[in-house]
Amino acid sequence: MGEVIVVTSGKGGVGKTTTTANLSTALAKAGKQVLAMDADIGLRNLDIIMGLENRIVYNLVDVVKKRCEARKAMIRDKRFKTLFLLPTSQVHDKNAVNPEEMKALCEELKPQYDFILIDSPAGIEQGFLNAIAGADKSLVVTTPEVSAVRDADRIIGLLQHHEVPASLIVNRLSAKMVETGEMMSKEDVVDILAVDLQGVIPEDSEVVVSGNQGVPVVLNDQSISGQAYDRIARRLMGEEVPIPELEEKKGFFSMLFGR
């Protein structure tokens, strides 16, 4: 029986979709049966980050409204045969489905997968409530910036209210800026938000490149963000993986001259 994990944040643009795509891919790479579900109705993005945007026929709304069977809407990943995407609709809005329907869908699909990862929309309205309705637990993504942390706090409060356990992912951490005191550290963020830390992802330009190409960055084992996603996936599978102290990504010349 699978675990349903919602990836949420409150604030937009902090890395929910990237996180959902990469954790789904990493778990499938490890041999798990994984469904990545895009719950951001009207603003679909999980498909394009995973490079599957040309394969969509049916979507989440079709499935919920019983216009087609769930498995007809699933898109098998190009690279991993145990990874599936349930894309969302680009033409409806967040009110097209309700939390009860989402909960029922998750219950129906749970037995078929080891993990179902749900990409939540930003905000606290119906879209968020839909995304969390069927979840067993949540990963709250934040960056170490004031507005993201503030919104994450609100989201954590709502998750607690809905009895969805939450743990934190701090994304886009710059070791250099933390060192000079110009960015909050992961300890600062955890201290403020008071939830368990699931993982830390360093700032990495490779994320942009991977989005451009539709190849999740976790498949680039040279990338520091890919390695971080890999560690988080291993933790989700129950492995004890310590969170390393992040080093600044070394530029070509500093590597050449051994700094």
Query: Would you give the distance in Å from CA 70 to the centre of its chain?
Result: 21
**Is the Cβ of residue 7 or residue 189 nearer to other proteins in the bound state?**
189
What secondary structure letter does DSSP report for 58?
A: S
5: left (phi over 0), alpha (psi -120 to 50) or beta: beta
**Is the Cβ of residue 75 or residue 195 nearer to other proteins in the bound state?**
195
For residues 174 and 131, what is the distance between their CA atoms, to the nearest angstrom? 30
CA angle 29, 168, 228 (to 5 degrees): 40
In the complex, minimum distance from the CB of residue 143 to other proteins, in angstroms, rounded to a whole number: 12
**Which stretches of the chain are assigned E, i.e. beta strand?**
3-8, 34-38, 75-76, 83-86, 115-119, 137-142, 166-173, 196-202
In the complex, minimum distance from the CB of residue 111 to other proteins, in angstroms, rounded to a whole number: 38
In the complex, minimum distance from the CB of residue 157 to other proteins, in angstroms, rounded to a whole number: 7
In the complex, minimum distance from the CB of residue 168 to other proteins, in angstroms, rounded to a whole number: 14
Interface ranges with other proteins (CB under 8 A): 145-146, 149-150, 153-154, 157, 178, 180-185, 188, 191-192
Strand partners, 196: 167
Q: Are 10 and 122 in contact (CB under 8 A)?
A: yes
**Is the Cβ of residue 48 or residue 192 nearer to other proteins in the bound state?**
192
Burial of 87 (0-12, 13-18, 19+ CB in 10 A): buried
In the complex, minimum distance from the CB of residue 144 to other proteins, in angstroms, rounded to a whole number: 8
Token pair for 106: 């998750």
**Is the Cβ of residue 85 or residue 189 nearer to other proteins in the bound state?**
189
**Is the Cβ of residue 91 or residue 146 nearer to other proteins in the bound state?**
146
